[in-house]
């Protein structure tokens, strides 16, 4: 199992953001239920999964980061 | 109105080489990534073994020798041991001992004459070596120079692993 994060612009080294409204797109409902029980993101469970970040440009090079921390921000 | 964001902190694993997007597109289906996902900012969770899939698809194609053939992707069988020795009945007892020993620890030991997958014996030998986790060579009857060369080669191979 892994996190797939896709962004239009470059990922900032070390720290970046993702709109909460874009979470769990193209994700099976059983996984949504598992990682967002009762509508709340289970951040700790998501952090435990490998992370795969990439930009949507075809010439971009993908690197595999390790998600070390995540939190919600207003 | 401010959008609610998820803040991510991450560090890159420098031991994993970068992967070009173009390469990824070739095996995206195996990662359960559909086409529109390449063009939309989002966060998805996939029920796929990421590292296994990347390893399988990122291996460079092997150089093909001219005299015999190798499988395009290396596929070592974890329980397979191959025994290399002269084609002579004098070595049957040695082979039988190797088979018993391998089986006692849950491994399968095979010699090229156990298999007949290719018209040429050399190809069966090559395939057996290529798929084996362990290769045991009986060098009985070879001269000392051969043993020295083999030892030096073996060390080189072990070092490269």
Is the per-residue pLDDT at B158 higher than 60? no
Domain assignment present for A8? yes
- First-to-last C-alpha distance (Å) of chain A: 28
Residue with the two structure tokens 């490998």 = A50
Q: Provide the number of structural domains found in chain B.
A: 2
For residue B5, list its beta bridge partners. A19, A73
**A12–chain B Cβ distance below 8 A for any pair:** no
Radius of gyration of chain B measured on its C-alpha atoms: 23
Distance CA B92, CA B94 (A): 5
Q: Is A62 left (phi over 0), alpha (psi -120 to 50) or beta?
A: beta
pTM beyond cutoff 0.80: no
B8 and B44 both lie in a single domain? yes
Domain assignment present for B69? no
**Chain B residue numbers touching A17 (CB-CB < 8 A):** 5-8
Domain assignment present for B71? no
What's the domain range around B127?
77-160
Domain assignment present for B108? yes
Domain assignment present for B64? no
Is the per-residue pLDDT at B53 higher than 70? yes
Domain assignment present for A62? no
What pLDDT, on a 0 to 100 scale, did the predictor assign at position B160? Answer: 43
A47 exposure class (CB count in 10 Å sphere: 0-12, 13-18, 19+) = middle
Q: Which of B36, B43, B53 to mutate to test the interface with A (most CBs of A within 10 A)?
A: B43
Distance CA B13, CA B79 (A): 31
Kindly report the nearest CA distance between residue A54 and chain B, in angstroms: 8
Domain assignment present for A37? yes
Residue B83's CATH number: 3.40.50
Domain assignment present for B41? yes
Is the per-residue pLDDT at B87 higher than 90? no
What ipTM was predicted for this assembly? 0.83
What pLDDT, on a 0 to 100 scale, did the predictor assign at position B62? Answer: 64
What pLDDT, on a 0 to 100 scale, did the predictor assign at position B159? Answer: 42
Average pLDDT over residues B52-81: 77
B95 and B129 both lie in a single domain? yes
Tell me how crowded residue B11 is: count the other CB atoms within 10 A of its CB: 11
Distance of alpha carbon B44 from its chain centroid, rounded?
31
Distance CA B152, CA B158 (A): 10
Domain assignment present for A73? no
Domain assignment present for B37? yes
Q: Provide the number of structural domains found in chain A.
A: 1
Name the residue among A21, A68, A64 with its Cα closest to residue A43. A68
């Amino acid at each position: 199992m892994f996190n797939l994060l896709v962004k239009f612009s470059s990922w900032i080294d070390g720290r970046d953001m993702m709109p909460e409204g874009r979470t769990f797109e193209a994700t099976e409902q059983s996984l949504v239920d598992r990682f967002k029980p009762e509508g709340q993101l289970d951040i700790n469970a998501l952090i435990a999964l490998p992370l795969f970040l990439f930009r949507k440009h075809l010439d971009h090079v993908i690197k595999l980061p390790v998600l070390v921390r995540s939190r919600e921000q207003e | 109105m401010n959008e609610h964001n998820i803040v991510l902190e991450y560090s890159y694993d420098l031991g994993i080489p970068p992967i070009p997007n173009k390469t990824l597109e070739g095996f995206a289906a195996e990662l359960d990534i559909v086409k529109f996902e390449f063009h939309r900012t989002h966060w998805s969770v996939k029920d796929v073994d990421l590292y296994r899939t990347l390893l399988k698809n990122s291996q460079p194609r092997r150089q093909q020798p001219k005299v015999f053939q190798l499988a395009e992707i290396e596929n070592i069988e974890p329980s397979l041991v191959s025994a290399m020795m002269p084609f002579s009945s004098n070595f049957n007892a040695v082979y039988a001992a190797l088979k018993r020993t391998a089986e006692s620890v849950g491994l399968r030991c095979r010699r090229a004459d156990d298999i007949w997958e290719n018209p040429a014996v050399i190809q069966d030998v090559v395939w057996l070596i290529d798929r084996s986790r362990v290769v045991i060579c009986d060098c009985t009857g070879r001269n000392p120079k051969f043993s020295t060369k083999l030892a030096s080669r073996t060390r080189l191979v072990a070092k490269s692993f």
